[in-house]
Amino acid sequence: MLVRLLTTIPLAIAVMLATPAWSYDAPMAESYAKMFTPVKGAGAGKALHLMKPDALLNKIKAKAPLVGLDVRTPAEVGVFTVTLPGSMTIPLNELFTEANLARIPTDKTVVVLCKSGTRATAAGTALRHIGFENVYILKGGLKALIDYMGPKEANTPLKAEPVKK
C-alpha cells in the first residue's frame, strides 16, 4: 500500500504540473483579442471609444443625438445625475439584464459615465463587446467633466453652438 501511494503521489504531481492550474474561455479570449487589435499607441483612446469632456460638451452644444448612461448606484445618483434629454440611470450591477439592455438605444451615441470613469470603462467595453458599437465612455467620468468645466460653468445651462469641423 505504501509503495502504491509513493508511486501515485509523484504521478499525480506530474499530471497537475503538466496541465494549467487554471483555464479560460478560449473563444471569449479570441473575441477580445479581435476587439482590442486596433488599440495601439496614440490612437488607443479613440479605438477604446473614450470621449474627452470637451468632445462631449461640443456634441451637446451641437445638439448631436446622444444619450447619457449613468452606471452609478442609486445613492450616488441621488446627489446629482445627468440631465440630458433621454438619458438614463442603470446601475452597473443591473445593466446586463435583458430588460435593461433593451432600453439602450442603438440609433444614437450612448455616452457611459460614472464618478471617475472606472465603472463606465468596464460597462462601455462590455457593451461594445456584445454589439453596441454606438457606445462611448466619458474619459475620467463626471469628475473630469466637472474639473474641465469648473464649478460655475458646471451649474450654467449650455448654449447651443455649431461644432467646428
Domain that holds residue 123: 44-154
Residues 113, 49: Cα–Cα separation, whole Å: 12
pLDDT at position 140 is 96
Asked, for residue 165, whether it belongs to a domain, the answer is no
Asked, for residue 99, whether it belongs to a domain, the answer is yes
Q: pLDDT tens across 9-64, in order? A: 665 665 555 555 568 888 888 988 888 888 888 888 888 899 999 999 999 989 99
Asked, for residue 4, whether it belongs to a domain, the answer is no
97: Cα separation from own chain's centroid: 16
Asked, for residue 9, whether it belongs to a domain, the answer is no
Q: What is the CATH number of the domain that holds 49?
A: 3.40.250.10
Mean pLDDT of 93-112: 96
Residue 67, classed as helix, strand or coil, is: strand
Specify the number of domains making up the chain. Answer: 1
Helical (H) or strand (E) element with 56: helix 53-61
Residues 43, 8: Cα–Cα separation, whole Å: 54
Residue 9, classed as helix, strand or coil, is: helix
- Ranges assigned E (strand) in 83-127: 88-89, 109-113
Q: pLDDT tens across 79-97, in order? A: 877 777 788 999 999 999 9
Asked, for residue 83, whether it belongs to a domain, the answer is yes
Asked, for residue 88, whether it belongs to a domain, the answer is yes
Q: What percent of the chain has pLDDT over 70?
A: 78
Question: Could you tell me the three cell numbers for 88?
Answer: 438614463
Closest CA to 148 of 156, 140, 158: 140
